[in-house]
Amino acid sequence: MILVLALMSACVNMEESQDYPEIFPDYVGVTVPQGMAPLHFEMKDGTRCRVQTTVAGDTTWYKVSAAGVSYRAFPVITSHDAIDPYIAYRLIEPGYESWHTLSICQRELASFKETEIVTNKANGQGCINCHNFPGGDPSRMIFHARGKGGGTVIIDGDCVRLLNIAGVGPRKQGTYPSWHPGGRYIAFSSNVTKQSFAVDGRQPIEVYDTSSDLIVLDLQTDSVITCPSLCTEDELETFPCWSEDGGTLYYCSAWNAGPEPGDLHYRLMSISFSDGAFVGEPQEIWADEASSVSFPRVKGGKLLFTRSAYGTFPIWHSEADLWMLDLADGSLREATELNSPDTESYHSWSSNGRWVVFSSRRDDGRYTRLYFAHYDPETGCFGKPFMLPQRKASHNSLRLKSYNIPEFVLGPVADRQKEISELFD
Amino acid sequence: MKRRIPEIVLFVAVFALSLVFQRYTLMDEGMWSLFLLSPDWFRETCSLPLSVSRAVSDFLLQFYDIPLVAPAITAMLTLGVYLLGGSMLLACAAWLLAALLPSPQYAVLALFVALVLRLALILLKKRIPEPKPALRLIPIVAAALVIIALPSVSRRETLSKAELCARQAQWSKVLSAATPAACSKDRSLLPYAALALSSEGRLSSDLGLYGFKSAQDLDMEGVQSREGYYFSSLMYEALGCPNEAIHRIFQAGCHLDHGTSYMVLYQLIRYNIEREDFTMVRKYAGILARSPRHRSLARKTLEVYGSRPDGCVEKESPSITNNPIYNLTMLYQHGIETQVSGDLFQAYMTLSQQ
């Protein structure tokens, strides 16, 4: 009885605030897909809060009370645009030259279930990176396994094999991949990458290429297709990305200005591709002498890319932001809805082009987290981004790993860890 | 009472010897461990072999930074193995493993084995025949002699003392461990001696006394181990270079099961305070607050730096190389100069000319 009275008295004495609550993650006013895992959050200052939800149509209203204050209810809009049910990403310490454990994981978006697709236990703690799926097909996947006996692991249904791309054709290893929509080809950049460590200032690391070219792997013949204009010494070609019809390869290219990464400004380029061969000469799509383009990703005639001041590794550049180019009319705009004062970098479109997932360091400047945003093709605008929900909100700040290379997947990737491990025995 | 003498002797011997011969070793081990009440910690621990004993061991290790606690835990574990298993040999084997590895993990495992043994005996209604008390003292004496006499135990203790005291800038204590005689026996102490001497401004004058022969004796550049990277982080901290200290301590973490430890987290907090990146300070303090042992200190850190705005800004900066002399020159030109950098530069120049 006393407890009930105390509670009632607390409710009566609650101060009403016209402000939205300051919560982490910030889910105020976001648009989420139907069936997304529940949005768990906490007060930014750590105080306990009570949440009441009411649903009105497609909007869920969250009324938060904390520390004697009842905040203004905030809306979360549910979109009927479907999202691909899974994402795959790599978990890695945001470190320097080495690592301890790396894992490529998948996460079911309707729940909090995260499972490992592969870990670097499979290849004796070597590096595993650059996972990719053709059109989000979970039965087909590639990733690179570095180190002794390494190569590119290709999963195609029940077949799991290891291919040393550097052992065929022009003897160039594969780095950043893009799987052709037809499924037969995979374009790779082949990069020689260096790092430098800054003595002072906020940005501790610069990662840059001293050489990079583009190659295409033909999975039917295990041969490598090259094109002289994509393997030049004077130019650094990287970040391949196929158009939706597979007829064009977009990529980034910079004049190899020498050892100063600050002088590297990558342009957005394209080249036609037909019947297993490149056609014609590369075309410059967009360039700016004072900035650099990374990670072009095309969907529905829109090309989303990362723009940074210079260089080829925007994750360490706090000024890196997402920009969108309309391929039909060439208009360019900053995706301000997605950007923050800190880094926005790797991104990918959902299969229907209505959602993007991207990596951002907006929370602490070092540990990359994943954000989703709804895209409305009618307005050409994104909704407010929201962080990948976790069972406990604190998990986002406790996790000492960065999320790396988020890719949408159309279903769960089967457990092939045993077969993958056997490739390295 | 007479029957209890071996048990009392066992507890006292383990406690006393751990305290005298392994005080810093155990504290050091505790600082390099990690127990966090977080989902990732449990998931990672479960994926490791012998995960239950490892989890119990990590839970205990978090308290090892308290000088009297680590010997007490070791003594209690050893006594527990004896009381449950009824075998002095098993108990002393557990003690030796705990002392030589050094980690309580195998003592915890021995405790589980002893427990199973005890349950089996109860079920079978049998008893292990107890030797006479005097006979039971023999394994204790033997184990004690091994710990006292083994050079690796004393070497590890000296190095741990240098490691821990260097972190707290207790240079006289570092030099009391890294004496010229100790350095001649164990050359891995030389970089600690160099750091302590340069902090006191007498490295270039004492080069001969300590037997520094080459530039490699002054640092651990290129030593790609936890120990090497940890030392480098301290070195770059002393050179006024927190960015590089963070780089090195991150690298040290890559050699650990969980990719980090209390030591790594504490150092990251320190270095980020130095570079005024208070967002990262709060991040690491928040993680440290998930350790039952380190919670209170982490919370104090959060109170102090809870709302402080970052002072760390983007700026043009030169890069660190693998050449220490070039690095020191570049730091000087960049206006970063400390007591250590001047003395160290002179020492590098002297040794490189020899």
The DSSP call for residue A261 is G
CA distance B11 to chain A (A): 38
Judging contacts by C-beta atoms under 8 Å, the chain A residues touching residue B330 are: 199
Mutation target vs A (from B32, B40, B281; most A CBs, 10 A cutoff) = B40
Q: In what order do the strands lie in the sheet with A321-326?
A: A292-299, A302-308, A321-326, A332-334
The answer to whether the CB of B78 falls within 8 A of the CB of B94 is: yes
pLDDT band per the 50, 70, 90 thresholds, residue B352: confident
What are the C-alpha distances in Å from B281 to residues A116, A252, A278, B116, B274?
Answer: 30, 37, 51, 45, 10
Judging contacts by C-beta atoms under 8 Å, the chain A residues touching residue B320 are: 196-199
A199–B36: do the CB atoms touch at under 8 Å?
Answer: no
- Residues of chain A whose beta carbon is less than 8 angstroms from a beta carbon of chain B are 93, 95-101, 196-206, 318-319, 364-367, 391-392, 395, 397-401
pTM of the model as a whole:
0.92
Q: Note the residue count of chain A.
A: 425
Nearest CA in chain B to A101: B259
User: What count of other Cβ atoms lies within 10 Å of the Cβ of residue A123?
Assistant: 25
Query: Of B135, B94, B98, which Cα lies nearest the Cα of B113?
Result: B94
- ipTM above 0.85? yes
Q: What angle do CA A367, A368, A373 make, to 5 degrees?
A: 145
Residue A129's contacts (CB-CB under 8 Å, 6 or more residues apart) are A90, A102, A143, A144, A146, A405
Nearest CA in chain A to B37: A398
B317–A391: do the CB atoms touch at under 8 Å?
Answer: no
In whole angstroms, what is the distance from residue A358 CA to residue B269 CA? 28
Of A200, A365, A399, the CB nearest to B279: A365
State the pLDDT at residue A257: 81
SS (H, E, C) A38-54: CCCCEECCCCCEEEEEE
Q: Where on the phi/psi map is residue B13: left (φ > 0), alpha (ψ -120 to 50), or beta?
A: alpha
Query: Of A124, A132, A131, which Cα lies nearest the Cα of A99?
Result: A124
Of B247, B257, B287, the CB nearest to A96: B247
CA distance A271 to chain B (A): 36
In whole angstroms, what is the distance from residue A92 CA to residue A84 CA? 24
**Phi, psi (deg, nearest 5) at residue A363:** -80, -40
Chains A and B: how many Cβ contacts under 8 Å?
Answer: 110
In whole angstroms, what is the distance from residue B62 CA to residue B65 CA? 7
Using one digit for the tens of pLDDT, what is the confidence trace for B4-16?
888 999 999 999 9
**Is B251 at the interface with chain A, CB within 8 A?**
yes
Mutation target vs A (from B247, B307, B327, B333; most A CBs, 10 A cutoff) = B247
A201–B316: do the CB atoms touch at under 8 Å?
Answer: yes
pLDDT at A170 over 90: no
SS (H, E, C) A241-253: EECCCCCEEEEEE
Of A199, A364, A400, the CB nearest to B279: A364
pLDDT band per the 50, 70, 90 thresholds, residue A86: very high
Q: What DSSP assignment string belongs to A327-344?
A: TTT--EEE-TTT--SS-E
**Phi, psi (deg, nearest 5) at residue A160:** -120, 120
Using one digit for the tens of pLDDT, what is the confidence trace for B200-240?
999 999 999 999 998 889 998 888 899 999 999 999 999 99
pLDDT band per the 50, 70, 90 thresholds, residue A1: very low
State the pLDDT at residue A171: 86
**Which class for A298: exposed (0-12), middle (13-18), buried (19 or more C-beta within 10 A)?**
buried
**Is B299 at the interface with chain A, CB within 8 A?**
no
State the pLDDT at residue A100: 84
Of A200, A318, A399, the CB nearest to B40: A399
**Which class for A135: exposed (0-12), middle (13-18), buried (19 or more C-beta within 10 A)?**
middle
Q: Where on the phi/psi map is residue A353: left (φ > 0), alpha (ψ -120 to 50), or beta?
A: left
In whole angstroms, what is the distance from residue A41 CA to residue A51 CA? 10
Nearest CA in chain A to B48: A121
The answer to whether the CB of A211 falls within 8 A of the CB of A233 is: yes
Nearest CA in chain B to A390: B39
CA distance A112 to chain B (A): 12
Judging contacts by C-beta atoms under 8 Å, the chain B residues touching residue A400 are: 40, 259-260, 287
Using one digit for the tens of pLDDT, what is the confidence trace for A308-338?
999 999 999 999 999 999 999 999 999 999 9
Query: In the numeric block, which tokens belong to residue A276?
Result: 């297993």
Q: What DSSP assignment string belongs to B93-119?
A: HHHHHHHHS--THHHHHHHHHHHHHHH
The answer to whether the CB of A247 falls within 8 A of the CB of A265 is: no
pLDDT band per the 50, 70, 90 thresholds, residue B132: confident
Nearest CA in chain A to B280: A364
In whole angstroms, what is the distance from residue B147 CA to residue A384 CA? 63
CA distance B84 to chain A (A): 37
The more confident residue out of A101 and A186 is A186
B319–A97: do the CB atoms touch at under 8 Å?
Answer: no
Of A97, A199, A203, the CB nearest to B314: A203
Tell me which H or E stretch contains A417.
helix A417-423
Query: Of A413, A414, A411, A416, which Cα lies nearest the Cα of A110?
Result: A411
Q: Which residue has the tokens 């890559």?
A: B254
A100–B255: do the CB atoms touch at under 8 Å?
Answer: yes
Using one digit for the tens of pLDDT, what is the confidence trace for A401-425?
999 999 999 999 999 999 999 999 8
**Is B255 at the interface with chain A, CB within 8 A?**
yes
Of B36, B279, B320, the CB nearest to A197: B320
Of A93, A199, A365, the CB nearest to B318: A199
Share of chain B above pLDDT 70, in %: 99
Tell me which H or E stretch contains B288.
helix B278-288
B39–A395: do the CB atoms touch at under 8 Å?
Answer: yes
Using one digit for the tens of pLDDT, what is the confidence trace for B72-107?
999 999 999 999 988 899 999 999 999 998 889 999
Q: What DSSP assignment string belongs to B259-278?
A: S--HHHHHHHHHHHHHTT-H
CA distance B261 to chain A (A): 11
